[in-house]
Structure 1
Amino acid sequence: MTNTKHLHITQLYPRDMNIYGDWGNTLSLSRRAQAHGFTTEIVDYNPGDPFPTETDIILGGGGQDSGQTIIQEDLHHIGPTLNTMAQDGTPMLVICGLYQLFGNEFVTIGGETLPGIGIFNARTVGGAERLIGNIVEESPEFGTIVGYENHSGLTTLGEGTQPLATVTSGEGNNLEENHEGARVHNVIGTYLHGSLLPKNPAISDYLIRTAAEKKYGSFTPASIDDSLVEKARAVAMSRPR
């Protein structure tokens, strides 16, 4: 029987915000959704493109400060749409540079202020020290999350925005707290690269389940063999920072 359930995945700014293997998140999410029985369509959105009329999940990646500057004007153009979608429950995952711009503002180390679109109540300032290395953190919802951080931005969360996880090895959002990432509505922001999703299928399943329940009213997961994923996670967690 042909499965008529379909998920549209929109990838924000892959041309300018994709320097840490963020395409791996998109590919992994699409394959995971297919394993759960969905057909998928991936749409790239770059500055000046018409925003997709159908979007079930939004992914966005990291980039250098120059990349953030390039996409900033367009991001503010679609910002009201993204805010409305976030408030309506559309699941989103944004990494590093787009995580910062989904907040209120990012002040670069050179003193330039890049206004964000305010989905997260968060502020980021550029720091002199680069936070780089393997990172492990614990989430009440997703369990142990593993990845790789590489950022100099220091992010502070405000009222109404919760951290993604508590860091057990690594730095996270800043040098003062032991939190990493952000959560609001069904939107996740994080500094974790790696790519993130291949090593953390629980987050992929959350995005897929949330999208499916929003679109179709229910989600019945498939039984997926994650034994190779668990081996990869174990190796990642055993590597020195």
Structure 2
Amino acid sequence: MTPIRIGHLYGNLLNTYGDNGNLLMLQYGLKKRGLDFTVEVNSLEESFKANQYDLIFFGGGQDFEQKVVSDHIQTKKDELEKYIESNGVLLAICGGYQLLGEYYLSAKGDRIEGTHLLNLYTLNQVNSRFVGDVEIFSDEFNETYYGYENHNGRTFIKDPVKPLGRVIKGYGNNNEDKTEGARYKNVFCSYFHGPLLVRNPHLVDRIIDKVLEQRNQSTEQGTKLKQIIDPTSV
């Protein structure tokens, strides 16, 4: 098997709260399975194609850096949409989560445009943040996840986007609807820092399983296409 290609989207700009630990956990999980991988930062200087990566990590940062990314990511939007809609696996934390949506309001109330790739939006709070330990339950996977949140944003998700989990303890997306994070196709989003995957190694396995499923499906589709073009080739 060729190495699994991991892309760290704007990794030189969005890397606060130690969330790069999620990348380390993904690498650890891949090594445990004996799987080779490559990791590269895809930022302001790099182009982006939908078939470039098998797994993308999109972290969070301060408002200034997120505004820079908000402006630039529009140049990658079309290919990123192709990646998501073709079931590419993506993990987004905090600011990356917000930027996949329609827009978010900064702490100062400025509107920062997202990519409009997920059906969600984020409002701000005045002189307040959601901070503390969180526990959620995923009905999709029948699993409990633990984390730590520290965010000003109040995110509201809409169909077809579903929550990553139901809030058992803590604030979650907005402290109103008892949701935390978001799930759409093979996209996983969360406000969990800590980092998320360090405290939830079972979620590491789920994400890697999704990557391998996609790799297998792509191989099968490629084989079928090759047979159609040249029936004698297989």
TM-score normalized by the length of structure 2 = 0.87
Q: Structure 2 matches for 1:96-111, cutoff 5 A?
A: 96-111=94-109
Q: Structure 2 matches for 1:83-102, cutoff 5 A?
A: 83-102=81-100
Alpha-carbon offset, residue 186 of structure 1: 0.5
Does the Cα contact within 8 Å between 1:14 and 1:60 map onto a contact in 2?
Answer: yes
Alpha-carbon offset, residue 110 of structure 1: 2.2
Q: Please tell me the residue identity of whatever aligns with 1:55.
A: Y
Q: Structure 2 matches for 1:41-56, cutoff 5 A?
A: 41-51=38-48, 54-56=52-54
Alpha-carbon offset, residue 111 of structure 1: 2.6
Query: Aligned to 1:138, what secondary structure does the other structure show?
Result: strand
1:12-36 C-alpha deviation (Å, 9 max, x unpaired): 1121111111211011101101211
- Number of equivalent positions: 215
1:138 maps to 137
Q: Does residue 1:12 correspond to 2:33, yes or no?
A: no
1:153 maps to 153
Unaligned regions of 5+ residues in structure 1, if any?
219-241
2:197 maps to 197
Moved more, 16-25 or 196-205: 196-205
1:238 maps to none
1:127-177 C-alpha deviation (Å, 9 max, x unpaired): 122001111111121511011100010001112110110111100000211
Cα 1:210–1:106 change in 2 (3 A) is same
Mapped to 2, the partners of 1:110 and 1:26 lie a distance apart of 31
Mapped to 1, the partners of 2:27 and 2:216 lie a distance apart of 18
RMSD: 1.5
Cα 1:51–1:142 change in 2 (3 A) is farther
Does the Cα contact within 8 Å between 2:97 and 2:190 map onto a contact in 1?
Answer: yes
Does the Cα contact within 8 Å between 1:59 and 1:92 map onto a contact in 2?
Answer: yes
Amino-acid identity (%)? 33
- Max Rg structure: 2
Query: Aligned to 1:192, what secondary structure does the other structure show?
Result: coil
1:63-104 C-alpha deviation (Å, 9 max, x unpaired): 111111111122111111111100001110000001001011
Alpha-carbon offset, residue 54 of structure 1: 2.6
Q: Does residue 1:216 correspond to 2:213, yes or no?
A: no
2:228 maps to none
Unaligned regions of 5+ residues in structure 2, if any?
219-234
1:159-208 C-alpha deviation (Å, 9 max, x unpaired): 21101101111000002111100111100111000011122122211221
Mapped to 1, the partners of 2:142 and 2:158 lie a distance apart of 22
Query: Aligned to 2:28, what secondary structure does the other structure show?
Result: helix
TM-score normalized by the length of structure 1 = 0.85
Residue number among 44, 56, 70 corresponding to 2:68 in the alignment: 70
